[in-house]
């Protein structure tokens, strides 16, 4: 049984989904579960995700309903919700699992670092 289920909600992410899921293959190799929940993409998101995920679901549109659909089928006790444009730091799975175990907390988060040159990023 996996210790961590990574749930990626998607909608029309075909240009970036392969890179996003490629970055998570080490987690799969370590026995963690990768679930993609597509919200009805009109591009090839689900097809591109299929060989790189343990499960690809076609769920309702909307981040919340998609994340809930992924959580319902997840096999691990710890869920990590990750958007397709987000990259985890090295060692993230171990950091998450150790942190939850040590702290007794039921949830956590990572600090966000934005990459890009758009002026709006300076306001966030």
Structure confidence by residue, pLDDT tens digits, 80-118: 999 998 888 888 888 888 888 888 777 777 666 656 566
Nearest Cα neighbor of 96 from 87, 105, 84 is 105
pTM score, two decimals? 0.86
Number of domains in the chain: 1
Structural domain range at position 59: 4-123
Domain at 60, CATH number: 3.90.550.10
CA quadruple 122, 95, 1, 75: dihedral positive or negative? negative
Which residues lie below 8 Å from residue 47, measured CB to CB, with a gap of 6+? none
Distance between the two ends of the chain, CA-based, in angstroms? Answer: 38
Are residues 52 and 22 in contact, defined by beta-carbon separation less than 8 angstroms?
yes
Cα gap 111→79, rounded to integer Å = 17
């Amino acid at each position: 049984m996996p210790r961590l289920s990574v749930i990626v909600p998607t909608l029309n992410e075909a240009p970036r989904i392969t890179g996003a899921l490629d970055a998570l293959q080490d987690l799969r190799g370590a026995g963690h579960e990768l679930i993609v929940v597509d919200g009805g993409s009109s591009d090839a998101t689900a097809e591109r995700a299929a060989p790189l995920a343990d499960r690809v679901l076609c769920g309702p549109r909307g981040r919340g309903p998609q994340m809930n659909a992924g959580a319902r089928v997840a096999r691990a006790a710890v869920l990590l919700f990750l958007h397709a444009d987000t990259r985890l730091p090295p060692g993230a799975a171990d950091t998450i699992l150790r942190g939850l175990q040590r702290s007794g907390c039921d949830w956590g988060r990572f600090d966000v670092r934005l990459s890009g040159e758009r002026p709006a990023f300076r306001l966030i």
